[in-house]
Amino acid sequence: DKKVIVIGAGLAGSEAAWQVANAGVPVKLVEMRPFKSTPAHHTGEFGELVCSNSFGALNPDRAAGLLQKELRIFKSLIIQTADKFAVPAGGALAVDRSKFSMALTEALSSHPLIEIERFEQLDLPRKEKITILATGPLTSDELSYKIQAFTGIDACHFFDAASPIIYGDSIDQEIVFKASRYDKGDPAYLNCPMDKNNYIHFRNQLIEGEQANLKDFEKESANFFEACLPIEEIARRGVDTMRFGPLKSIGLWNPKWGDLFDRENRLKKRPYAIVQLRKEDLEGKLLNMVGFQTNLKWSEQKRIFRMIPGLEKAEFVRFGVMHRNTFLESPNLLLPTLQFMKRNNLFAAGQITGTEGYAAAAAGGLLAGINASLLAKGKKTVSFPKESMIGSLINFISNKNQILSNQKKNKFQPMPASFGLVPELTKRIKDKRLRYKAYQERSTEALNDFKNKLDYCFEKDHLLSK
Ligand code: FAD
């Protein structure tokens, strides 16, 4: 039986089912709503947008826009439906959410090769079934525990306490310096030194900063975070608590400040506090603000974190969050084809793989759908070119080597699409706009070529080499 089972008709599952069915392979799409809902969904429609109605910037010179453009090349159901029900939103692709999800439900329900079943999947289907797991950040409890048992206890996380990530080229290199505490090992960290005035002012702003509204189900989970407090809570606990915690300056020295072993010089020059930045990727194009998990509103994070010396012009790839989120330790579990390493006919797609955002979920669904249908046809599965936004994101979440050794103990954290993930151009372009445009052109070229090969592979009995 070559029918593919897709679990979850969110953004990833809807896209996956569409791709499989359009490749001529029958699909069973399982969705638990409306009989059982998640704490964030309100309807029984497919691809319900649980919060914002925006897919991000439209312009392909931006990461979100490029992701959308790439999805259009592959006739993504999600993006084509979003385009059809777009509402004016400045430079962003925003949709009429109700028309959008009703149209998705209609398209999938009327497809002759898609059978829809509404029930809560309580376990992974039998191991001979080709299956795509796309149950999202709010996967139901029973299934979550089964996934945890299948992957290993530490390989499935239920809460996301992530610090902001910023673009490495947006920090002030004159102020920030490279060093590891007590000079141990490779200087893996970048350090932002603060004097007393900076620190006191920064702490006051943190304490007074406006908090994001937590959903009721997220308030319940807030007490899970005692071991991983929000930075504003650490600040609230005492004037010096941050200084003796994540912002401690001891053991960090910039050679520019003169002789470390001259006690007088050291006492005079040593910063009052230091914010550390850790490389998120091997090249350091993305930097993680160490210990800055937070519940502050995104606009407040931008305003307050830019007060840190060296980060005045920081550009944020993602903001800090602390929320309920079921996601896999993907680099240790998945291949860049989205197949599980330990079961090659089981795929994962969407937010559960640790990608972030609506269009990114659709991209995962697209790849898992293409590969599940290739597998059903007895062909080799494929991965997207790394030059594309889809390829770079999926490669990031599924690449063991990408996770740096110092990050391993902090566990993998979800990642949105960004230009920080794509490989450098052979010729460096300094101007950011022109550089992003060049990334875009390179991606389109690589993807058109890949698509031609893929179409040929589907038509003929030809194996596309990986
Ligand atoms: P989902 O869209 O959540 O789809 C998963 C589907 O699986 C759901 O329909 C669910 O009912 C179903 N399901 C779960 N368990 C089972 C089961 N056992 N059996 C059968 N069906 C099951 N992203 C953004 O880009 N912008 C935002 O503003 C935004 N806001 C968010 C707010 C909240 C509160 C949360 C939790 C997430 C938010 N996200 C946001 C992330 C967002 O969830 C993803 O971007 C996107 O919805 C992920 O798509 P998905 O297909 O992976 O999961």
* Tens digits of residue pLDDT in 120-177: 999 999 999 999 999 999 999 999 999 999 999 778 888 777 889 999 999 999 999 9
What DSSP letter does each residue of 26-93 carry, written as one string? -EEEEE-TTTS--SS--SS-TT---S--EEEE-STTSHHHHHHHHHHHTT-HHHHHHHHTEE-BTBEE
What is the rounded average pLDDT for all residues in the chain? Answer: 91
Q: Which atom of ligand 1 is nearest to the CA of 41?
A: 11
Cα of 12 vs centre of ligand 1, distance in Å, is: 9
Determine the Cα–Cα distance for residues 416 and 360; give it in Å rounded to an integer: 7
Q: What are phi and psi of 55, to 5 degrees?
A: -95, 10
The answer to whether 172 and 183 have CB atoms below 8 angstroms apart is no
Q: At what angle do helices 63-73 and 77-84 cross, to 10 degrees?
A: 110
Contacts of residue 150, Cβ cutoff 8 Å, sequence gap at least 6: 124
> CB of 103 closer than 6 A to ligand 1?
no
Determine the Cα–Cα distance for residues 353 and 334; give it in Å rounded to an integer: 8
Model ipTM value: 0.98
The pTM for the full model equals 0.88
Determine the Cα–Cα distance for residues 296 and 321; give it in Å rounded to an integer: 8
Minimum CA distance residue for ligand 1 atom 40: 357
Identify the pLDDT of residue 421. Answer: 94
> CB of 354 closer than 6 A to ligand 1?
no
The alpha-helical segments, DSSP class H, found in 355-431 are 358-376, 389-398, 405-408
Look at 22-26, 226-230, 345-349 and tell me which has the smallest mean pLDDT. Answer: 226-230
Confidence class for position 1, pLDDT limits 50, 70, 90:
low
Across 29-47, average pLDDT: 95
Minimum CA distance residue for ligand 1 atom 46: 358
Q: Which atom of ligand 1 is nearest to the CA of 36?
A: 11
- Chain centre to alpha carbon of residue 285: 16
State both tokens at 257.
Answer: 């400040």
Whose structure tokens read 């599924």? 398
> CB of 388 closer than 6 A to ligand 1?
no
> CB of 139 closer than 6 A to ligand 1?
yes
Cα of 38 vs centre of ligand 1, distance in Å, is: 9
> CB of 9 closer than 6 A to ligand 1?
yes
